[in-house]
Amino acid sequence: MTELVKRLGNRIRFLRKEKGMSQEQLGELSGLHTNYVGQVERGEKNVTVESLEKIAKGLGVSMEDLFRHIDPSPQPDELRQLVDLLTERSKHDRALALKLVKSVFEWEQEKYQ
């Protein structure tokens, strides 16, 4: 399979694990066989758009979230670097980073008033 299919499978696995779900649970919630979910996660199946929609619903994410970070821009700018740093962090870590950034921006805004 192509590298893109493997990256998509890794993304699905990451989201599933982030939600504390097993492959069996994802299969049940998405209406897909557990073996198929495993094959998709390993990049062994060229998954259809319909199956991706089912997986996204089973994970409780949008299609946009499902595809996020799969095909990053070859020119990493500051925003891409921030996204890359946060991508593999826990939800708690991302929330903490967001709170920190907001605090810095609020402090800067108050400084000039």
- pLDDT value at residue 92: 93
Taking only the tens place, the pLDDT of each residue in 39-76 is: 999 999 999 999 999 999 999 999 988 998 787 666 66
> Which of 8-17, 38-47, 72-81 bottoms out in mean pLDDT, i.e. has the lowest?
72-81
User: pTM score > 0.75 for this model?
Assistant: no
Looking at residue 53, its pLDDT comes to 97
Question: Across all residues in the chain, what is the average pLDDT?
Answer: 90
72: in domain: no
* Domain shared by 62 and 15, yes or no: yes
Same domain as 57, residue 21: yes
User: What is the C-alpha R_g of the chain?
Assistant: 17
- 57 in a domain, yes or no? yes
Q: What is the mean pLDDT of residues 81-110?
A: 89
First to last CA, the chain: 56
* Residue 49: CB atoms within 10 Å: 8
Q: Total domain count for the chain?
A: 2
Query: 61 and 21 in one domain?
Result: yes
Same domain, 86 and 63: no
pLDDT of residue 76: 67
* Domain assignment present for 103: yes
Q: How far apart are CA 113 and CA 100, in angstroms?
A: 20
Same domain, 23 and 62: yes
Residue 7, burial from CB neighbour count under 10 angstroms (0-12, 13-18, 19+): middle
Domain limits for position 94:
77-111
Q: How far apart are CA 12 and CA 18, in angstroms?
A: 10
